[in-house]
């Protein structure tokens, strides 16, 4: 989510620089979502400060996690999660909110490990985005990846969604979704595999989280901070859905899960849900994680066979989103949600699809809730903007969504099923299916999921 406070500060900094040329100014690039342990930011002149939740992070600063962890949200919507024993520097960052070629994000991983989900800069100006190490440079051609960088200079990149490029003195290698690339030195060509980077377990330390002010509107204070959503996720009440999926063979649904099982990397490996016949296990399908913040996780199963489920070679990826059951469900008030991340894939009628943004507005009620949503979807380079309604049902956390666009030249329709998740409904997930045709083109079928965070 763009940080609107950045822009007035930037204008003020420019005015001060013009009036006092010798005055050094700093530009805010990101804000800390959470920090555990002794996480610090060091400026180029050597000054160090502790980072806590809500703190701004400036261009030029180096973030060090020591034994802790940190998660940052950049003003273009990018998400960066830093593992223990990590040093990460923001070398250059320019975001104007216009998709201009001047926008850029240049960062350095000096040591340690990180996960990231691309923001608007990486989607609209891919040549302006890069992550540097002394061994290789990572470019973006997708929406999410993980990196580990050990003391010997070896770098391993795992691509969760889309693709990345890895460049060193031997040339450039493209790494597709679900694959890893390892580089042992500047003169060593990358080797690709299915092996993922090793990211250390959570460090110790106190969580820097502010106390709650309003249980409905400030639910973030209650959330677990430095963990992944892993293990067996179950519901005590079958009316509280915490799982949604989209697949050309199975369709779209949000169902109560008994249980969903996520591995140590936070990836869904199997699920037993009322919408399936038996257990849908991984089989020979390739498992892929797009994101996981400890409360909600989302990703895809790609290719191959599944156990008691669809053949993903013929029906396309199985998109999934799973979250913790809702506790302290609000019964009054309103809330807005912004997309944490999303997946998209064309099953037929197109060659590429990408979610460019999504929001939800929810009005809570004592029986059900309702609201509205927007979802931007770029299909074969053409932007399509959906806007429609949300309809809660079954007196639970589940909802349906519907919207359509177009006219006499054709139309696209979106149908979605989703759920609210986490403490005070602080997260949401939606599976969607887009069908129809535009401008008398072929019939289009697109599937995916979106994960949301309450603002």
Q: Which residues touch 429 (CB under 8 Å, ≥6 apart)?
A: 242, 243, 244, 254, 296, 298, 321, 322, 323, 418, 419, 421, 449, 450, 451, 452
Q: What is d(CA 323, CA 393) in angstroms, rounded to the nearest whole number? A: 18
pTM above 0.75, yes or no: no
Confidence of residue 266 (pLDDT cuts 50, 70, 90): confident
Structure confidence by residue, pLDDT tens digits, 353-412: 888 889 999 998 877 888 999 999 988 888 889 999 999 875 578 899 999 987 555 789
**Mean pLDDT across the stretch 334-344?**
90
Q: Classify the C-alpha dihedral 83-158-281-241 as positive or negative.
A: positive
More confident residue, 179 or 229: 229
Rounded to an integer, what distance in angstroms lies between the CA atom of residue 186 and that of residue 133?
Answer: 10
pLDDT tens across 93-149, in order? 998 876 677 888 999 999 988 888 888 888 778 888 999 998 999 988 666 788 888
Longest distance between any two alpha carbons in the chain, whole Å: 70
Q: How confident is the model at residue 211 (pLDDT cuts 50, 70, 90)?
A: very low
pLDDT at 357: 86
pLDDT at position 420 over 60: yes
Q: What is the rounded CA–CA span in Å between residue 298 and residue 310?
A: 19
pLDDT at 429 over 50: yes
- Burial (Cβ within 10 Å: 0-12, 13-18, ≥19) of residue 138: buried
Domain range list for the chain: 6-193, 219-454
Q: Per residue in 57-97, pLDDT tens? A: 999 999 999 888 898 989 888 889 898 889 999 999 998 87
Q: Per the structure block, which two tokens stand in for 224?
A: 């677990």
CATH T-level fold of 6-193: Jelly Rolls (2.60.120)
């Amino acid at each position: 989510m763009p940080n609107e406070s950045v822009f007035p500060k930037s204008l003020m900094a420019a005015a001060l620089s013009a009036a006092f040329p010798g005055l050094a100014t700093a530009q805010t690039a990101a804000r800390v979502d959470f920090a555990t342990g002794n996480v610090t930011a060091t400026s180029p002149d050597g000054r160090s400060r502790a980072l806590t939740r809500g703190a701004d992070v400036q261009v030029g600063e180096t973030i060090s996690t020591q034994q802790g962890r940190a998660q940052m949200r950049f003003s273009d919507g990018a998400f960066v999660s830093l593992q223990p024993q990590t040093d990460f520097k923001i070398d250059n960052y320019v975001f104007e909110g216009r998709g201009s070629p001047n926008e850029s994000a240049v960062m350095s991983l000096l040591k340690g490990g990180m996960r990231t989900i691309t923001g608007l800069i990486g989607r609209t100006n891919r040549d302006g985005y890069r992550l540097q190490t002394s061994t290789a440079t990572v470019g973006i051609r997708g929406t999410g990846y993980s990196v580990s960088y050990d003391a010997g200079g070896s770098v391993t990149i795992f691509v969760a969604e889309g693709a990345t490029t890895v460049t060193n003195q031997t040339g450039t290698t493209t790494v597709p979704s679900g694959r890893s690339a390892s580089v042992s030195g500047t003169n060593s060509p990358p080797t690709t595999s299915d092996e993922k980077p090793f990211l250390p377990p959570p460090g110790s330390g106190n969580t820097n989280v502010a106390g709650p002010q309003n249980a409905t509107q400030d639910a973030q204070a209650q959330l677990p901070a430095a963990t992944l959503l892993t293990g067996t996720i179950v519901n005590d009440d079958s009316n509280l859905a915490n799982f949604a999926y989209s697949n050309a063979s199975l369709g779209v649904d949000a169902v109560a899960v008994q249980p969903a099982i996520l591995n140590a990397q936070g990836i869904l490996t199997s699920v037993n849900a009322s919408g399936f016949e038996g257990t849908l296990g991984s089989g020979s399908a390739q498992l892929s994680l797009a994101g996981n913040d400890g409360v909600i996780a989302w990703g895809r199963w790609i290719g191959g066979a599944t156990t008691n489920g669809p053949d993903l070679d013929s029906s396309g990826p199985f998109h999934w989103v799973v979250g913790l059951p809702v506790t302290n469900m609000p019964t009054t008030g309103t809330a807005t949600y912004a997309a944490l991340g999303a997946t998209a894939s064309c099953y037929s009628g197109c060659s590429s699809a990408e979610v460019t943004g999504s929001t939800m507005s929810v009005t809570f009620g004592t029986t059900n809730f309702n609201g509205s949503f927007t979802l931007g979807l770029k299909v074969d380079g053409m932007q399509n903007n959906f806007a429609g309604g949300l309809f809660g049902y079954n007196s639970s956390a589940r909802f349906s969504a519907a919207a359509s666009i177009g006219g006499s030249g054709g139309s696209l329709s979106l149908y979605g099923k989703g759920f609210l998740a986490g403490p005070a409904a602080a997260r949401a997930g939606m599976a969607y299916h887009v069908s129809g045709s535009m401008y008398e083109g072929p019939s289009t079928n697109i599937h995916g999921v979106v994960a949301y965070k309450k603002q």
